[in-house]
Chain A
Amino acid sequence: MQPKPYMNPYLAGFLLGLVLLATIYITGRGLGASGAFKSVVIATVEGVAPQHAANTAYYADFKATNPEGPWKNFLVFEIVGVLIGAFFSGVLAGRTGLKLEKGPAVSNTTRIIGAIIGGALFGFGSQLGRGCTSGSALSGMAVLSLGGILTMLAIFGAAYALAFFFRKLWLK
């Protein structure tokens, strides 16, 4: 089956803006994603190595500021929602299926390694920068946060600056 075409980007942006606005109106804060990753990491560390978690300042601090544990978190529930919503959309549009998407000139292994390295950098950077493209850049723009907008400029600036050097990954 031929997948349905994507939504008009401006319409999608408008709807996304309304979701973000609703989030701010209801909860007073924006959307996010990397915070849920942090919850996964902290829950895993606490589960696998409770001794280590208790002795390390970072985990102890997290526990003190989040007494209800890493799972009972706005962003965790939101990301579960994202999984459901995206899956639903994918089914409606006929885009689901196991697939490895990559640039035309790279092997599967290169793509996987690239994705892991890129993911690791993004994960690390999102913790250092207090939020990723959703939590810091997009939500930050909606409330005119200086930090959020600076982070956004840094993300896209760095990606543009390096795009030439990584063109083999994506272009023919």
Chain B
Amino acid sequence: MGPLVPFIISEEFSLVIALFLGIGFGFILEQAGFSSTRKLVGLFYGYDFTVLRVFFTAGITAMAGVLLLGHYGLLDLDVIYVNPTFLKSALLGGAIMGVGFIIGGFCPGTSVCALAIGKLDALAFVFGAILGVFAFTEGFPLVEGIYNSNNMGQVKISEYLGMSDILFGFLLAAMAVGAFVATWYIENKVNKRKPVISGKLRNQYAYAVLGPFVVLGIVAFLPGKYDIINKRIADQKRQQTCVFKEMPADKLAHEIVNNYYVLNVIDVRTPEEFEAYHLPTAINIPFDQMMDRQYEPIFRQKLKTNVFYADSDTLVRMACLHAKFIGKSENYIMKESSTEFREMFFELTPPGPEATKQQLSLYNYRSQTAAQMTNLMESLKNIGAPVKRQVVTVKGGC
């Protein structure tokens, strides 16, 4: 599940990947003609709208792709970097960049492309840009107020407008297509060309336009990964076909004492309940957070056995069922509730004088195991509690 950095690909190796992604970026920019300043500013005088076409198509493609990957659970949209919004500096900075664009004829990325193929004006632009950045870093105290004012956080435009991502996606794609058609007429008019287009090319463009709308339609109307999981769970429940492997508390206690290292004892109650009392060596994965990406490895691994427990029979069964659909680990549920477990082991009442031999040996077993579990917790304390893996939000930016 993406993003691959930092859990699957290390930060270090991501630099190598950056180089290759940059090669792709530069190659395409140059192929599109972004290394020519006159082609770039053509956008502002109506004789060449290449920039708008490339830019919008790229934006729509990437946006539709991000939504699609997120829909099928391949990309975690909660952790990807959404550029934060600082209203004043975004608008003022953008306006200054706009002035720089019309005077200098490049933007930073395109100037690097043009420099690579030997454009001297691009060299001057890069030199100027470095001076500009230097002016900013030196004069930072003067602009710090504007730079940090109106912080709205990592807000999406769809949230701001109060619509769903997918609806905004549709609108943006429709806007882009409208802009493509309109600018085609404008460009022909400015260049005094006849607006003719061959039937074949027109059909190809029509299919191309269909592409993003189909992708957005899939995201909007077909069930996503979590819908599918929930539906399967509901189906199985309705048909009563789910089989649960149960583990009695006595057996679990024995396993904890002897094999704690091949066991994940998972408490699916709320963190407050977990704090109040939990089984020895247990980790807490609240039921409503089971789908979180940070817990996925636990349900996918095949080295340890997962044992779920809670206070309610339904909750623990639901949790086990969820786990089954997330991964292929071996999953058990504890037959007893956590309260029963505590009473059985840690709140033992010694049997009376007329107790049977069986009761006595059970008492002995349980009190011994309880002592061993307490010992185990004591010694494990120093090794460290189960590692809490925190979701890393990607830092990014230009």
Residues of A participating in the B interface, judged by any CB pair closer than 8 Å: 6-7, 9-10, 12-35, 37-38, 40-42, 44-45, 56-59, 72, 74-75, 77-90, 93, 95-103, 111-112, 114-163, 166-167, 169-171
Q: Mark B121-143, 1 if CB is under 8 A from A, else 0.
A: 11011111111111111101101
Contact of B128 (CB < 8 Å), options: A29, A58, A103, A117: A117
Number of interchain pairs (Cβ within 8 Å):
565
Instruction: Please report the C-alpha to C-alpha distance between residue A100 and residue B25 in the assembled complex, in whole angstroms.
Output: 23
Contacts of A143 in B (CB 8 A): 63, 66, 80-83, 156
Residues of B participating in the A interface, judged by any CB pair closer than 8 Å: 2-5, 9, 14-33, 35-39, 41, 43-45, 50, 53-63, 65-66, 69, 74-75, 79-87, 89-122, 124-138, 140-141, 143, 146-147, 152, 154-160, 165, 168-169, 172, 180, 205, 208, 394-398
Contacts A12-B54, A96-B118, A144-B165 given; does A122 touch B23 at CB 8 Å: no
CB distance from A84 to the nearest CB of B (A): 5
Contacts A13-B32, A24-B62, A122-B101 given; does A128 touch B133 at CB 8 Å: no
Q: Which of B56, B85, B108, B116: most chain A CB closer than 10 A? A: B108
| A124 pairs with B132, CB closer than 8 A | yes
| B79 pairs with A115, CB closer than 8 A | no
CB distance from B218 to the nearest CB of A (A): 15
Contacts of B55 in A (CB 8 A): 13, 133, 137-138
Instruction: Please report the C-alpha to C-alpha distance between residue A30 and residue B61 in the assembled complex, in whole angstroms.
Output: 13
Contacts of A24 in B (CB 8 A): 2-3, 62, 66, 75, 80
Q: Which 4 A-B pairs give the minimum distances between C-beta atoms?
A: A118-B104, A81-B22, A129-B93, A135-B398
Contacts of B45 in A (CB 8 A): 163, 167, 170-171
Contacts A28-B81, A147-B86 given; does A122 touch B118 at CB 8 Å: no
Instruction: Please report the C-alpha to C-alpha distance between residue A125 and residue B99 in the assembled complex, in whole angstroms.
Output: 9
Q: Which of B55, B94, B113, B116: most chain A CB closer than 10 A? A: B94
Given A102-B121, A117-B104, A160-B44, 17 extra CB contacts under 8 A: A9-B54, A21-B62, A26-B3, A33-B112, A58-B141, A80-B22, A81-B20, A81-B22, A96-B118, A100-B120, A117-B128, A123-B132, A125-B93, A141-B63, A144-B169, A145-B156, A158-B99
